[in-house]
A = this chain, B = another copy of it.
Amino acid sequence: MTDLALRVLGRVESPLASRADAPRQGDEGAPDAWVVFDESVRAALADLAAGDEIILVSWFDRADRDVLTVYPRGDRTRPPTGVFSTRSPDRPNPLGLHRVTVLAVDGLRLLVNNLEALDNTPIVDVKPVLGDVADR
């Protein structure tokens, strides 16, 4: 099938340099990190503010896209599992979902907490966490 063209809209600036440094999930000890966006999406960012809960969508650019099954959490005593049942970064489209809180906004830069993505990881979308239907 035809590929879709995903645009890189921003990049992570993080002290996490390699997969060996990264926790398995953001709520397992990941650091604060900056996300630096491209000038072309300034208007899309304009309403984000400190305190907002958002989902950052990343592209795990150091992942292996040919992997279809993994040992969950690298534990070889567990059975190999299809990647659609895991959050492994190794998967056909290495998209990551990161639920974080915005700590600060500085122009095209957002400081967020609990981000387990590595330094320089592309960011491809930002979405609000949805609350109750009545508040949308």
Contact = CB atoms under 8 A, between A and B. Distances in A.
Contacts of A57: 93, 95
A127 B97 contact: yes
Given A5-B5, A8-B1, A136 B44 contact: no
Interface in A81-136: 81-87, 91-93, 95, 97, 122, 124-128, 130, 133, 136
B25 A41 contact: no
A2 B130 CA distance: 31
A134 to B, nearest CB: 11
A7 B91 CA distance: 11
B46 A82 contact: yes
A41 B6 contact: no
A50 interface: no
Contacts of A95: 57, 95, 124-125
A13 to B, nearest CB: 15
Contacts of A85: 47-48, 52, 128
A20 interface: no
6 contacts: A3-B8, A4-B7, A25-B136, A44-B82, A72-B136, A97-B97
Sorted nearest first, the 8 A-B pairs with minimum C-beta distance are: A84-B126, A43-B68, A47-B85, A3-B5, A46-B82, A1-B8, A4-B6, A47-B82
